[in-house]
Amino acid sequence: MYLSLILLGVGAFLKSPSLFDAILLFGAAFSFVSTAKAEEALNIQKFGDCYAEYCGRTKMFIPFIF
């Protein structure tokens, strides 16, 4: 979900690149990554070792990469 929003921002940036749009894109990307990490921490707290093990097997945004 977060990756799709980041890619949407990249697409909008590429349509009409500007310094303001670049700053906005990096801010949004940082926000989405921070939100995903916070959500992951909450899920580990709620579901315990099972979710931590799941996180060890999967990647956060792009399978096999990141």
**CA dihedral (59, 8, 11, 28) positive or negative:** negative
Domain boundaries, the chain: 2-57
Compute CA distances 33 → 10, 21, 24, 54, whole Å. 15, 18, 14, 18
Question: What is the pLDDT at residue 66?
Answer: 73
Give which of 60, 65, 54 is closest to 38, Cα–Cα. Answer: 60
Alpha carbons within 13 A on the beta-carbon side of 58: 10
pLDDT digits (tens, 9 = 90+) for 9-66: 999 999 999 999 999 999 999 999 999 999 999 999 999 999 999 998 888 888 777 7
Per the CB < 8 A criterion, the answer to whether 25 and 13 are in contact is yes
